[in-house]
Amino acid sequence: MSAVAAEGSYTYGTLINGVWVSEGRAFATYNPACPDQQVGHYRESSIAEVAAVMKAASTAQRAWARVPGLERQGIVQAFLAKLRGETERIARAITLEMGKPLAEARGEVGYSLREAEFMASEAARPLGHLLPSLRSNMRNMSMRKPRGVIAAITPWNYPLLTPMRKIAPALTFGNSIVLKPSEFTPATACIVADLARGILPDGLLGIVLGQAAVGQALVSHPLVDAVTFTGSVATGRSIYKLAAQSLAEVSLELGGKNPIVIHDTDDLDACLNEAVTGALVNAGQRCTAISRVLVRRGLAADVEAGLAERMRAVVVGNGFDERTRIGPLAMKAQLEKVNAMVENGVAQGARICAGGERLAPAGFASGYFMAPTLLCGVTPGMTVAREEIFGPVLSVLPYETIDEALDMVNDVQFGLSASLFSNDQRVVHRFIDHANAGMLHINNQTATDPNMPFIGMKDSGVGACSVGQGSANFYTSESAVYLRYGS
Ligand code: NAD
């Protein structure tokens, strides 16, 4: 406990043209494992400060766009190398402010940097094509140019991964970026921006801090060329409306209600281990968390018993304790919301087969800990089967045929990730063709690779994917070039 208490005390405000300014209203963050411990002391950005960050970002972007692409790539890579050298400091900030186990926070740093390095490598790839012309002596090209100033707003669940998913491609493709991290976990993004000073030109990466009003001021600023947002559907809708006023390009990455379909397997233990991992990483506070287990009825009893046993065995505790597999939920409101969802499930007829209660590990009685919870007897119409829970809760729903399972996969508002366990090729291809999700996994939970498109369908997302080659469609705009040569 003393090692934890000795750390933290992050103090940041608005980053304007490479200088931290701390004048606005004060706000604080707290360690979710022991909420009496204040972790961060911050200053909210005023409207005037948001405008100053935007002006600096606009000026910096014009110069950055003239830097040759491969030179920009080298500068971005130097920035990423600096972050890699500070892995431990960044990981500890994530655990302290957000709560996830330190090993997972270190994993988040490693994975974020793999993804960012992949995006930096995109600087060397073609950004256009040669096209045939109707006319002789004419060379036609399509080329992509930097979009301009990117406004980015991120949630609290991945304090490094989500900001880096926006910062790395924005810079690589010649843009500047102004980021508003979540008011619950700003330390990590502030550390990142601080480490960028002296490597990136001043003004290229700006930080504004605060809640919805600051996000609104950022999105509606006239110098914004494109808006990238990750967070809840409700906020995504309101940002989409705001951005429409200036016709800025928009990319939204929203929630999920991700199923795993267990149809047949020759290794049920391995399959259940994957399901539990997919459900409990980051205490289930993951847009791609598995939250529904759809199981062929003949396997249901074994699957329910195996999941319950595994979930009861999970060690829940302080993220700085090496034995901890899942940490606290990130904030009190999240704990209350998850508990209310479980109670609602029971009221609608579900049975609690594991967990279902708040936990108070020794020494951390006031932390926001929740037991991994398995709900059985869930039917497709129940709220727990339809709405995002964003906590360590799994619901089991039996089915008879793969077509019935596919209807259940698709009959929700979301379409982010969907997983299938089967060795039957007809079932596998039926699933690939008809499961409506941006990311499909066969015999794999929902773990992604750093070079693959990260994208959602339906209410899970709008616009180009954030990772992968398609992200150039958001971070650049296309121009058609007609070039007459000779007479
Ligand atoms: P949230 O929508 O409450 O907040 C996200 C960010 O938006 C925060 O920085 C917040 O300050 C800001 N914000 C809130 N209201 C705003 C407004 N009116 N205008 C401008 N900015 C505003 O989301 P959250 O609770 O922080 O995060 C959890 C949600 O994020 C979940 O729904 C989860 O599924 C989603 N998420 C999605 C992905 C993905 O890639 N699809 C990844 C992570 C999280």
- Given this model, what pLDDT does residue 8 score? 65
- In this structure, the answer to whether residues 333 and 466 fall within a common structural domain is no
CA distances from 99 to 29, 104, 161, 321, 456 (A): 12, 10, 15, 11, 26
Is residue 271 among the annotated active site residues? no
pTM: 0.97
Atom of ligand 1 nearest to the CA of 219: 20
Rounded average pLDDT over 88-114: 98
Lowest mean pLDDT among 243-247, 379-383, 414-418: 243-247
Rounded average pLDDT over 213-231: 98
- In this structure, the answer to whether residues 243 and 274 fall within a common structural domain is no
Residues paired with 418 in a beta bridge: 440
Ligand 1 mean position, distance from CA 426 (Å): 38
Ligand 1 mean position, distance from CA 288 (Å): 14
From 47, 211, 237, 287, give the residue whose CB has the most ligand 1 atoms within 8 Å, as the site to mutate: 287
- In this structure, the answer to whether residues 157 and 293 fall within a common structural domain is no
- Tell me which residue range forms the domain holding 188: 10-254+460-480
Report how many domains make up the chain.
Answer: 2
Task: Flag whether 18 is in a domain.
Answer: yes
- In this structure, the answer to whether residues 199 and 50 fall within a common structural domain is yes
Is residue 478 among the annotated active site residues? no
Q: Is the CB of 308 under 6 A from ligand 1?
A: no
Q: Is the CB of 456 under 6 A from ligand 1?
A: yes
Q: What are 306-356's pLDDT values in tens digits?
A: 999 999 999 999 999 999 999 999 999 999 999 999 999 999 999 999 999
Reply yes or no on whether the pLDDT at 1 is more than 90: no
Reply yes or no on whether the pLDDT at 5 is more than 70: no
Q: Which of 253, 274, 304, 388 is catalytic?
A: 253
Q: Is the CB of 179 under 6 A from ligand 1?
A: no
Q: Is the CB of 161 under 6 A from ligand 1?
A: no
% of the chain beyond a pLDDT of 70: 98
- In this structure, the answer to whether residues 377 and 291 fall within a common structural domain is yes
Q: What are 446-463's pLDDT values in tens digits?
A: 999 999 999 999 999 999
Q: Is the CB of 273 under 6 A from ligand 1?
A: no
- In this structure, the answer to whether residues 243 and 150 fall within a common structural domain is yes
| CA atoms within 13 A of residue 255's CA, in its CB half-sphere | 19
- Given this model, what pLDDT does residue 6 score? 42
- Given this model, what pLDDT does residue 7 score? 61
Residue with tokens 């949630």: 155
Q: What are 146-178's pLDDT values in tens digits?
A: 999 999 999 999 999 999 999 999 999 999 999
| CA atoms within 13 A of residue 205's CA, in its CB half-sphere | 25
Ligand 1 mean position, distance from CA 299 (Å): 37
Q: What is the CATH number of the domain that holds 211?
A: 3.40.605.10
- Backbone angles phi and psi of 186, in degrees to 5: -80, -15
Q: Which of 287, 353, 376, 465 is catalytic?
A: 287
Closest CA to 481 of 67, 66, 62, 130: 130
Q: Which amino acid residue places its CA nearest to atom 16 of ligand 1?
A: 212
- Backbone angles phi and psi of 177, in degrees to 5: -145, 135
Q: Which amino acid residue places its CA nearest to atom 11 of ligand 1?
A: 211
Q: Is the CB of 239 under 6 A from ligand 1?
A: yes
Task: Flag whether 31 is in a domain.
Answer: yes
Task: Flag whether 364 is in a domain.
Answer: yes
Q: Which amino acid residue places its CA nearest to atom 22 of ligand 1?
A: 212
- In this structure, the answer to whether residues 196 and 319 fall within a common structural domain is no
- Given this model, what pLDDT does residue 3 score? 36
Reply yes or no on whether the pLDDT at 30 is more than 60: yes
% of the chain beyond a pLDDT of 90: 94
- In this structure, the answer to whether residues 31 and 134 fall within a common structural domain is yes
- Given this model, what pLDDT does residue 4 score? 41
- In this structure, the answer to whether residues 234 and 290 fall within a common structural domain is no
Q: How confident is the model at residue 465 (pLDDT cuts 50, 70, 90)?
A: confident
